[in-house]
Amino acid sequence: MTADLSEKLGREMTGDPARATDEQPETSTDTLPPPAKLPLRYRNRFVEFFYRLFTERPLGAVGAIICVLLLLTGIFADFIAPHGYNAISPLDRLKPPSAEHWFGTDHLGRDVFSRVVYGAQLSVIVAFAATTLSIIISVIIGLFSGYLGGRTDMTTQRVVDGWMCFPDLIILIVAVSVLGPGTWQVILILGLLFGISGSRIVRGAVLTAKENVYVHAARSIGASTGWILWRHILPNVMPPIIVLYTTRLAAVILAESGLSFLGLGIPPPAPSWGGMLSIDGRSYMFLAPWLAIMPGLALAIAVFGINMFGDALRDILDPRMRGGTGRYIARVRKPGGQTT
């Protein structure tokens, strides 16, 4: 029975041209058109990911390139920057962009290009550290609060409510005045701030995910709570977490700039983009607009790139969207009856 059944089922599968490409050759050769250009099934996942990023999400690919450039700039800042970020040259004050100083110089004669490059380093460090910290906090709070429910959930959520009652800026100012300005202080504060508010998003996703029959099924198989959280809940709440990560990444860069702009972030002369916008950019805005434009542009491009990449990442990592977002989405029904 099983033999002819599988044959029957094999034929059933070939009725769908988008799925037929990876079908057993003996059933797909006779009537079907030649396979469409789809990534090979057993191709390396990593290769497949980039293949799909570039073919299906070109804007995401641009974002990815920007992210990579940002990272490389941060890592190799010492080699890229032609001058030290703090090398003062009083004779070259407020020079417009030129061959020697690509982005011009500031009021102390420091090379703006070098400072923007070093600023990337600082932004990368702060952004990734603070965002990672915040996501870890969000996921831990969200998973346990959402999955365990009941009293745990009730208590946790009231604490989160209380925390979210305070305006972010007030918390930041208080925390900075207690801890003092500095890089790790900014990381800690931003991580905590974004982590706690982000836990709501994770919890919401967990609440939906845990009601799925497959979670019930895993329990009936004999899975422990930890197993279910790790193998079923976490993977299924990844899309919102990835989006959260990328939007937070951009938001942290902005927040750090904002803090530095207010003088609460990373103290000068460290080359923070926000600090450059504030101290130098604002004072000399009309005299030397490049002082504000260059770090501002760097900030905008970085945030744009991260957001685009994050969007593409979420779409590609979702296995239900395999084979292209536009191509077979109409035919794929998500469990629970929603259609994508």
Partner 1 sequence: MSTNHNDVLLDVQDLKVHFKLHGGLFGQKQTGTVKAVDGVSFQVRRGETLGLVGESGCGKSTTGLGVLRMVEPTAGKVTLDGIDITALNSAALRKARRRMQMVYQDPFGALDPRMRVLDIIGEPLLIHKMFKDKKDYKAQVHDLLERVGLNPNMADRYPHQFSGGQRQRIGIARALAARPELIICDEPVSALDVSIQAQVINLLEDIQEEFGLTYLFIAHDLAVVRHICDRIMVMYLGHVVEVTDRDALYENPQHPYTQALMSAIPIPDPEEEAKRGFDRSLQGEVPSPLNPPSGCPFHPRCRFAHDACKTQKPRLMETDTGHQVACHLYDPAASDINAGDVMEDNLVRAG
In whole angstroms, how close is the CB of 15 to partner 1 at the nearest point? 10
Among the candidate windows 67-75, 84-92, 93-101, 227-235, which touches partner 1 by CB under 8 A? Answer: 227-235
Q: Can you name the residues that pair with 339 across neighbouring β-strands?
A: 333
Amino acid at 221: I
CB nearer to partner 1: give 148 or 238: 238
CB nearer to partner 1: give 90 or 335: 335
Q: Is 220 a binder of partner 1 (CB under 8 A)?
A: yes
Q: Single out the residue of 147, 70, 143 nearest to residue 301, CA to CA.
A: 70
Q: Is 329 a binder of partner 1 (CB under 8 A)?
A: no
Q: Is 332 a binder of partner 1 (CB under 8 A)?
A: yes
Amino acid at 309: F
Q: Is 38 a binder of partner 1 (CB under 8 A)?
A: no
Q: Is 334 a binder of partner 1 (CB under 8 A)?
A: yes
Q: Single out the residue of 25, 63, 37 nearest to residue 327, CA to CA.
A: 37
Size of the site for partner 1 (CB under 8 A): 37
In whole angstroms, how close is the CB of 226 to partner 1 at the nearest point? 11
Q: Is 34 a binder of partner 1 (CB under 8 A)?
A: no
The answer to whether the peptide bond before residue 235 is cis (omega within 30 degrees of 0) is no
Among 11, 12, 17, 166, binds partner 1 (CB under 8 A): 12
Q: Is 43 a binder of partner 1 (CB under 8 A)?
A: no
* Contacts (Cβ under 8 Å, ≥6 apart) of 230: none
Using only the alpha carbons of the chain, give its radius of gyration.
Answer: 26
Q: Is 327 a binder of partner 1 (CB under 8 A)?
A: no
* 178 CB-contact burial (10 Å; exposed 0-12 / middle 13-18 / buried 19+): exposed
SS3 state of residue 158? helix
Let me know: does 194 contact 134? Beta carbons within 8 Å.
Answer: yes
Among the candidate windows 7-15, 95-103, 258-266, 291-299, which touches partner 1 by CB under 8 A? Answer: 7-15
CB nearer to partner 1: give 12 or 78: 12
- The DSSP symbol for 329 reads G
Q: How far apart are CA 35 and CA 12, in angstroms?
A: 17
In whole angstroms, how close is the CB of 236 to partner 1 at the nearest point? 6
In whole angstroms, how close is the CB of 337 to partner 1 at the nearest point? 8
**Could you write out the DSSP letters of every residue in 108-127?**
T--BHHHHHHHHHHHHHHHH
Among 71, 125, 192, 223, binds partner 1 (CB under 8 A): 223
Among 50, 216, 300, 301, binds partner 1 (CB under 8 A): 216
Q: Is 41 a binder of partner 1 (CB under 8 A)?
A: yes
Q: Is 212 a binder of partner 1 (CB under 8 A)?
A: yes
CB nearer to partner 1: give 62 or 223: 223
Q: How far apart are CA 116 and CA 153, in angstroms?
A: 44
SS3 state of residue 333? strand
Among 213, 285, 300, 301, binds partner 1 (CB under 8 A): 213
Q: Single out the residue of 210, 204, 208, 234 nearest to residue 338, CA to CA.
A: 208
Among the candidate windows 92-100, 254-262, 294-302, 315-323, which touches partner 1 by CB under 8 A? Answer: 315-323
Q: Is 339 a binder of partner 1 (CB under 8 A)?
A: no
Residue whose token pair is 């979670």:
215
Q: How far apart are CA 13 and CA 57, in angstroms?
A: 28
Q: Tokens for 230, please give them.
A: 């790790």
Q: Is 1 a binder of partner 1 (CB under 8 A)?
A: yes
List interacting residues with partner 1 (CB under 8 A).
Answer: 1-2, 5-6, 9-10, 12, 19, 24, 41-42, 212-214, 216-224, 227, 231-232, 235-236, 238, 319-320, 322, 332-336
